[in-house]
Amino acid sequence: MTTAVFAPSRLEARARLVLPGLLLVVLALLPTAGLTPNLIRLLFITFVWVTASLGWNLLGGFTGQVSFGFAVFYGLGAYTAALMIDRGVNPYLSFLGAALIPALASFFIGLPTFRLRGPYFAIATIGVSEATRVIMNNLAITGGASGFRIVEHRPFRQVDHYYTALAMAALAVAVSFLIQHSKFGMGLRAIKQDEEAAADLGVNPYAYKLAIHAVAAALTGMAGGVFARYAAFIYPQGVFSFQTSVYILLMPVIGGIGTVWGAVLGGVVFGMVEEQLVANFPQIHLLLYGSLLILIILAEPDGLAGLLGKLFRRLRTPR
Amino acid sequence: MATPILEVEKLTKYFGGLAAVKDVSFAVPEQHIYGFIGPNGAGKTTLFNMIAGALEPSAGHIRSRGKDVTGHRPFSLVKSGIARTHQIVCPFRAMTVLENVQVAAHFGRKNITRTAAARDHARQVLAWVGLDHQADTLAANISLGDQKRLELARALATDPELLLCDEICGGLNPKETRAMLDLLERIRQNGTTIMYVEHDVKAIMAVCDHVMVLNYGQKLAEGKPEEIQNDPAVIEAYLGKAGSQKKGSRPVA
Ligand SMILES: Nc1ncnc2c1ncn2[C@@H]1O[C@H](COP(=O)(O)OP(=O)(O)OP(=O)(O)O)[C@@H](O)[C@H]1O
Ligand SMILES: [Mg+2]
């Protein structure tokens, strides 16, 4: 048996834009439909998680480089935005800073480790992540472990935050698709499957891994920045925690590693259930995630997206 | 004489104390098919690995059209026109056959940016090697013979001047072998120089202009196929045993 994969026609490619476009319109109109502030907040958080999930997916899913340290970028983004807003910089400008600083930081981890073969990168991400948290816990200008309060001299309007986060998540989806369907994305796929074979065909794996790491860090950092402005209070034990790194890794794995909609789905599911889990099972919610992770790796490595795809195909095939 | 497309000077590779390749020198003239034979472990793949940049030589020099490329990385050698196939096939198994070749079209010497253009080029190459009917099949699901052909298609899609082929007929039946040798001949006629390693001595003798015999990492002999076949040292060390009876070497029509 051979599996045939047909190249999409131009029409099909356009049809693919219809559903996401519709989704975006619905999400943009939702706040006018009289949602409760609590629901708007939940959706806001979900968009933030979706963005971070898509960021991690670029490196982990597209390129096969597993990082346990994305809290570094999330936290750096949060603190960059916080400090800039605190100094009176326009918040939207501060989100650019929240993307740029983590992108630069990504090179500190990638430059020494991407050259090495083996799990050095994955291990280094844990070390750098923990070291950053310790440093931030003791850094005077950010208030150290006691955290940083962001004072923004303008009225708080929840829908502004909602639309910012929605636009950011849409940007992350667009960036992911653009990369996936480009030469860059083909190079990443090749690296993921066989780095040596990729190099033998002209791909520079080192340069490509550095580049996608930076893009992933930028998206994750921006998510951290947008979150920080909303939260108005951040502390290292939160944004820089190992738990945050685990969350960011978990979402694309739950949803379907390596696919754009899988990473989105993972972010949505996580955003919707996370608070409930923490509230109802404060002691064991991490254990639940761990069990879920093992279950997915064993039963459905393609995640929820893979599962849905299978269901969908089964429904469509007439018996 | 024009500058050879590749010059190798006293190339040496040690793995620990073992000299897998030792003091090997030769020059490959343009548009030749330059063959390498030798028993298992003679150092043929190691030699190719150094030339293609997968292994750094312990000593010696490699020059491509007079330019020193010793120790260059594989992806930059591809850009200077050196491509290789692998003795042990390594397709991107989760990609289709077409996508496998598309990667080479993007990142090889043609450096095609647009995906549609890279696909077009990949399709042409697939048609050329006779693999177009498998274009949309996952590379994991095609036969070994087709995977060998895919190795060749990928290397060709990088638009090489010098193509290193490591046992592209290994594991093929006589008919497939004949077809593969025809393909090599066509590639050369298209202006590409070929370095060719194969256990099948008859195959080597049939297509090569020049042959080198390696033994324990060292050059045992080199010359035209008929010279090699009559070289007493070669007959003694290799051909005498391997030429007629050796397992895995099949006569070619
Ligand atoms: N990466 C490596 N590390 C250690 N030893 C190696 C390595 N690669 C090859 N060798 C050794 O170097 C010698 C030459 O191996 P090589 O693969 O180059 O031989 P070959 O001529 O290609 O053999 P074959 O005909 O079986 O393909 C062998 O003794 C082999 O065991
Ligand atoms: Mg070999």
Residues B54 and B12 in one domain: yes
DSSP-derived pairing of the beta strands B210-215 and A148-149: unpaired
In this structure, the answer to whether residues B77 and B21 fall within a common structural domain is yes
pLDDT-above-90 percentage for chain A: 59
Angle, to 10 degrees, between the axis of helix A285-299 and the axis of helix A242-255? 30
Q: What is the extent of the structural domain holding B99?
A: 90-157
CB contact under 8 A, B99 and A186: yes
Pair B101, B219 in one domain = no
Q: What proportion of chain A, given as a percentage, has pLDDT over 70? A: 95
- Residues B88, A197: Cα–Cα separation, whole Å: 11
* Mean pLDDT across A280-290: 80
Q: Which amino acid is at B139?
A: A
pLDDT digit string, tens, across residues A18-52:
888 999 999 999 888 888 999 999 999 999 999 99
Q: Is B235 on the interface with A (CB under 8 A)?
A: no
Instruction: Check residue B225 and give its pLDDT.
Output: 93
CA distance A44 to A60: 24
- pLDDT digits 0-9 by tens, A82-102: 999 999 999 999 999 999 999
Say which DSSP state A4 is in: B
Q: Which ligand is nearest to the CA of B41?
A: 1
Evaluate if residue B136 carries a pLDDT over 70.
Answer: yes
Check pLDDT > 60 for residue B249: no
For residues A248 and A243, give the distance between their C-alpha atoms in angstroms, rounded to a whole number: 9
Same-domain check for residues B8 and B40: yes
Q: How far apart are CA A170 and CA A226, in angstroms?
A: 14
Same domain as B121, residue B192? no
Indicate if B43 and B101 belong to the same structural domain: no
For position B226, which CATH number holds? 3.40.50.300
Chain A residues in contact with B142 by the CB 8 A cut-off are 2
Enumerate the domain spans of chain A: 36-272
- Give the closest ligand to the alpha carbon of residue B199: 1
Identify the band that residue B253 occupies on the pLDDT scale cut at 50, 70 and 90: very low
Q: What is the DSSP string of A265-291?
A: HHHHHHHHHHHHHHHH-TTTHHHHHHH
Q: Are residues B102 and B116 in the same domain?
A: yes
Question: What is the pTM assigned to this prediction?
Answer: 0.90
pLDDT band for position A276 (50/70/90)? confident
- Does ligand 1 lie within 6 Å of residue B40's CB atom? yes
Q: Which residue has the higher pLDDT, B120 or A237?
A: B120
* Structural domains counted in chain B: 2
pLDDT in tens, A142-161: 888 888 998 887 788 889 99
Under a CB-based contact definition with an 8 Å cutoff, are residues B155 and B126 in contact? no
* pLDDT tens figures, B45-63: 999 999 999 999 999 999 9
Q: Are residues B172 and B251 in the same domain?
A: yes
Is B52 touching A (CB cutoff 8 A)?
yes
For residue A178, is pLDDT > 90? yes
Are B8 and B34 in the same domain? yes
pLDDT at position A52: 98
The Cα B198–Cα B214 span in angstroms is: 12
Instruction: Return the higher-pLDDT residue of B32 and A120.
Output: B32
B242 confidence band (pLDDT: 50, 70, 90): very low
The model's confidence at residue A302, banded by pLDDT at 50, 70 and 90, is confident
What is the average pLDDT score of chain B? 92
Band of the pLDDT at A290, cuts 50, 70, 90? confident
B179 and B215: one domain?
yes
Residue B184 has pLDDT above 70, yes or no: yes
Minimum distance, in Å, between the CA of residue B56 and any CA atom of chain A? 14
Give yes or no: residues B168 and B153 share one domain. no
Rounded CA separation B154/B86 (Å): 11
- Quote the DSSP letter at residue A88: T
Arithmetic mean of pLDDT, A201-228: 98
Same domain, B248 and B173: yes
Mean pLDDT of A129-134: 90
Q: How far is A53 from chain B (nearest CA, A)?
A: 23
Burial class (CB in 10 A: 0-12, 13-18, 19+), A157: exposed
* Of B112, B108, B148, B118, the residue nearest B130 (C-alpha): B148
Q: pLDDT of B209-235, one tens digit each?
A: 999 999 999 999 999 999 998 888 888
Task: Provide the pLDDT for residue A119.
Answer: 83
Distance from CA of A96 to the nearest CA of B (A): 28
In DSSP notation, chain B reads: -PPPSEEEEEEEEEETTEEEEEEEEEEE-TT-EEEEE-STTSSHHHHHHHHTTSS--SEEEEEETTEE-TT--HHHHHHTTEEE--SS----TTSBHHHHHHHHHHHSTT---SHHHHHHHHHHHHHHHT-GGGTTBBGGGS-HHHHHHHHHHHHHHT--SEEEEESTTTT--HHHHHHHHHHHHHHHHTT-EEEEE-S-HHHHHHH-SEEEEEETTEEEEEE-HHHHHH-HHHIIIIIHHHHHH-TT-----
Whether B148 has a pLDDT exceeding 50, the answer reads yes
pLDDT of residue A143: 84
User: If you count residue pairs, one on A and one on B, with CB atoms under 8 Å apart, how many are there?
Assistant: 100
Average pLDDT, chain A: 89
Domain boundary among B141, B157, B173: B157
